[in-house]
């Protein structure tokens, strides 16, 4: 798949990067959303999409999607804050 990189415009790459940045849980909103299965799933799906667009490894993409599905199915739970 050597043509993989050329099929995505810089605008698409920028939009995916911006989406991923918006969905990442940071220190400010971690406690608010840490157990929200839809927020956590969306964060992981955006990361998977970013990997797809930016020529990531298939294994990494699959792992992100699987983890996202685990949140939707409520098979994944918040591990808690390591600092508490």
Q: What is the pTM of this model?
A: 0.83
State how many domains the chain has.
1
Quote the pLDDT of residue 26: 86
59 found inside a domain: yes
44 found inside a domain: yes
Quote the pLDDT of residue 2: 46
Quote the pLDDT of residue 77: 85
50 found inside a domain: yes
34 found inside a domain: yes
State how far the Cα of 57 lies from the Cα of 29, in Å rounded to an integer: 29
Run means of pLDDT, 10 residues per run, the chain, 84 residues: 69 96 88 92 97 96 98 88 62
* Residue reference for tokens 């298939």: 58
State how far the Cα of 58 lies from the Cα of 77, in Å rounded to an integer: 25
9 found inside a domain: no
18 found inside a domain: no
63 found inside a domain: yes
Identify the domain containing residue 66 by its residue range.
Answer: 29-76
């Amino acid at each position: 798949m050597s043509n993989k990189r050329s099929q995505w415009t810089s605008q698409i790459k920028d939009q995916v990067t911006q989406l991923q940045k918006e969905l990442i849980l940071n220190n400010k909103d971690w406690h608010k959303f840490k157990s929200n299965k839809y927020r956590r799933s969306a964060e992981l799906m955006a990361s998977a999409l970013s990997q797809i667009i930016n020529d990531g490894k298939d294994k990494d993409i699959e792992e992100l999607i699987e983890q996202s599905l685990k949140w939707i199915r409520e098979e994944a739970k918040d591990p808690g804050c390591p600092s508490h």
